[in-house]
Structure 1
């Protein structure tokens, strides 16, 4: 029996955005100095190679390049592997853009799918696999649709790629040093092309997101409608808030 909720999972779930959607980047840490992003002051910059690592300044990005180079080039090369002629080459660029644009939504879905608020130890053993279908020629915000979602063993990702596994472990150690529970793994896959999205998760005691069993429906809803303005619901002592 499907769960019934008094509030929608997002503030604008049932209504179209009142303005042009903006690119959300969510909670971020500089991969060099560990600074926390404050979007009201300045936005962090994404590494143009892997589209995953983020930095507070160009100087931090330059300083970190020596240690980031291997995983960056590895991730970029994986996204450029030769494919069958019938596959649209734009799928590579599109998948990276999809992951970056929907980072908040994908991270929230991973948190819910792994049930981290109920059992934080799941972060060490499980991962969320999101399968996509590609629709060439469609509107740029709707070229990918959700084909399926699966909770898989984390080893499904880490055992097949030692460089990715090492990068996840590095993030995990950093996250725990800051009082978090570790790094959730979300794997976005379209055919033979995939991208790993590591999500550093704060302590569940400091995360006010409501637990939602309808996360897959919410994920499908926002992706299919091309929405990038997802703001999850949180129940606090001050009442219901979104964001």
Structure 2
């Protein structure tokens, strides 16, 4: 069974900061940590189409360390595409990648709620959220998947050594910046899967409400094709 693991640039889905220059509610450059803003539009790596950079210079500097995981990701994409011939869309791996990008905030929030990180921050080091999808040949690209099941699994569910090494690198960076670690969300459709790491701030800095209905919220936004999800908060920091 072919498995596709991608390593998107770390995204921190947290509350608005007191200082804009330290904002952690958006994606960050995988080389220098610059926050993506309307004035600083990120560029994707042309090989894996997942890692993001604020400039071509950062992309060049990061390439020596990114090369191995980038080439590995490209190989997995090709294998997953070949194995997905049972679906109407032969490019299901690429479609899954676009789906993950479009719903990144929603998926990160669902993982935060599923692992109950507000109550038990240590869960970020032990468990991961698996989101199983069903594929539909819909004319609207944002409605080609629906949620078939969700599971909380041990982090040992991931066994690819290159993916694990990339996650470890992100965790070390997150903790150096004061975070609690990297939340892992695994999105699966048939034999194709994508790993989404999310660097998480301490719960004391996160104003999201704890929600027990996260699975229903996830299904609603995915199946309706909505990509405008925003976390709900009742605190002044949210």
TM class, shorter-length: 0.7 to 0.9
Q: Distance in 1 between matches of 2:147 and 2:47?
A: 25
Tell me the TM-score normalised to structure 2 length: 0.84
- The aligned runs of 1:141-180 (5 Å cut-off) are 141-157=142-158, 160-180=159-179
Range with greater deviation from structure 2 (218-227 or 39-48): 39-48
Number of aligned pairs? 211
1:45 Cα offset (Å)? 2.4
SS of residue matched to 2:39: coil
- The aligned runs of 1:1-243 (5 Å cut-off) are 27-37=26-36, 39-81=37-79, 82-83=82-83, 85-87=85-87, 88-157=89-158, 160-237=159-236
Q: Is the 8 A contact 1:129 1:186 kept in 2?
A: yes
1:36 Cα offset (Å)? 2.4
SS of residue matched to 1:130: strand
SS of residue matched to 2:128: strand
SS of residue matched to 2:130: strand
Q: Higher helix share goes to which structure? A: 2
Q: Distance in 1 between matches of 2:84 and 2:167?
A: 30
Q: Is the 8 A contact 1:35 1:56 kept in 2?
A: yes
SS of residue matched to 1:199: strand
1:204 Cα offset (Å)? 1.1
Structure 2 CA distance for partners of 1:117 and 1:73, relative to 1, 3 Å:
same
SS of residue matched to 1:95: helix
Q: Is the 8 A contact 2:84 2:90 kept in 1?
A: no
Q: Distance in 2 between matches of 1:131 and 1:232?
A: 22
Q: Distance in 2 between matches of 1:43 and 1:211?
A: 31
For structure 2, the 5+ residue unaligned runs are 1-24
RMSD: 1.5
1:52 Cα offset (Å)? 3.1
Q: Distance in 2 between matches of 1:79 and 1:214?
A: 33
Structure showing greater relative contact order (alpha-carbon pairs closer than 8 Å, 6 or more residues apart): 2
